[in-house]
């Protein structure tokens, strides 16, 4: 049974650093990595490419059920197309947040997310990994940071890519997404039962990674012997 494989879930709001932390933790442990948020971004990107309205729940759910995606060495692949940068575009992020509230779309992506749980283990980041998808996870982390800190990180990322950005607009956008994600009917954004809260506002990604690895080691040591 696949549930014997360890899972670390790292949930949190947009730009909290969960993707960076999860990817580094997975690499350190030699685990598989699941960027669940990318699945929604990929679905939104496919909907955009096929000119499907973001309000067309049934059609988007069909796309989600057969999403041909892979995560390869930090790259997001859609079939044979490297869409790593495409899915990080602000417009796609907004679209992903919109379709994430659609119950049929979320249902369509559940089985796909569960399929990533393989030996030797999995690190999954998102918004409901610990609360909905992997409630039996070995370790649950809820990564958070102030809207200002998250906007600052997003601003630097965009500027480095040569994309113009406005701090006030970024803060406003993040706060709107937080409100939308935390009040939605389907799997609202909130810490999972038993999750450890880690605020990254004042710490580096490396410090956050080390803290998660330390907690995971402690969790493994406290496991009852088989």
pLDDT tens for residues 147-201?
A: 899 999 888 888 887 888 889 999 998 888 888 877 776 677 889 999 999 999 9
In a domain, 187, yes or no: yes
In a domain, 222, yes or no: no
Q: Do the strands 75-78 and 69-72 form a parallel or antiparallel pair, or are they unpaired?
A: antiparallel
Is the confidence at residue 209, as pLDDT, over 90?
yes
User: Which residues define the annotated binding site?
Assistant: 12-20
What is the residue-averaged pLDDT of the chain?
Answer: 90
Going by the DSSP 8-state scheme, the letter that residue 137 receives in this structure is: -
User: Which residues define the annotated binding site for ATP?
Assistant: 12-20
In a domain, 185, yes or no: yes
Which residues form the domain of 113? 2-217
Is the confidence at residue 131, as pLDDT, over 80?
yes
In a domain, 210, yes or no: yes
Provide DSSP, 151-203.
HHHHHHHHHHTT----HHHHHHHHHHHHHHHHH-SSS-S-PPTTPEEEE-TTS
Which value, to the nearest 10 degrees, does the dihedral of the CA atoms of residues 49, 53, 55, 59 take?
-70
Predicted local confidence at residue 221, as pLDDT:
87
In a domain, 201, yes or no: yes
Is the confidence at residue 1, as pLDDT, over 50?
no
Confidence of residue 119 (pLDDT cuts 50, 70, 90): very high
Confidence of residue 121 (pLDDT cuts 50, 70, 90): very high
In a domain, 226, yes or no: no
Is the confidence at residue 90, as pLDDT, over 90?
no
Is the confidence at residue 3, as pLDDT, over 70?
no
pLDDT tens for residues 10-69?
A: 999 888 889 999 999 999 999 999 999 899 999 999 999 999 999 999 999 999 988 988
In a domain, 198, yes or no: yes
Predicted local confidence at residue 97, as pLDDT:
84
Predicted local confidence at residue 226, as pLDDT:
52
Give me 143's structure tokens: 């990564």
Q: What is the CATH classification number for the domain harbouring 195?
A: 3.40.50.300
Whole-prediction pTM: 0.82
Query: What's the mean pLDDT in 196-218?
Result: 95
In a domain, 143, yes or no: yes
Number of domains in the chain: 1
* Distance in angstroms (rounded) separating the CA atoms of residues 225 and 125: 28
């Amino acid at each position: 049974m696949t549930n014997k494989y360890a899972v670390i879930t790292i949930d949190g709001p947009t730009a909290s650093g969960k993707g960076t932390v999860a990817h580094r933790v997975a690499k350190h442990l030699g685990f598989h990595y699941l960027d669940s948020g990318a699945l929604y971004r990929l679905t939104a990107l496919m909907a955009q490419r096929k000119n499907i309205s973001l309000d067309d729940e049934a059609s988007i759910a069909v796309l989600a059920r057969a999403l041909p995606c892979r995560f390869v060495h930090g790259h997001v692949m859609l079939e044979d197309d490297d869409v790593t940068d495409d899915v990080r575009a602000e417009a796609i992020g907004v679209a992903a947040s919109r379709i994430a509230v659609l119950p049929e779309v979320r249902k369509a992506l559940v089985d796909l997310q569960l399929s990533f749980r393989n030996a030797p283990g999995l690190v999954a980041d998102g918004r409901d990994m610990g609360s909905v998808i992997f409630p039996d996870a070995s370790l649950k982390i809820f990564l958070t940071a102030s809207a200002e800190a998250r906007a600052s990180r997003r601003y630097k990322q965009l500027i480095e890519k040569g994309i113009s950005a406005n701090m006030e607009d970024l803060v406003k956008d993040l706060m709107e997404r937080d409100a939308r994600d935390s009040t939605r009917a389907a799997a609202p954004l909130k810490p999972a039962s038993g999750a450890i809260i880690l605020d990254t506002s004042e710490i580096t990604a490396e410090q956050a990674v080390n803290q998660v690895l330390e907690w995971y080691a402690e969790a493994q040591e406290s496991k009852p012997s088989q």
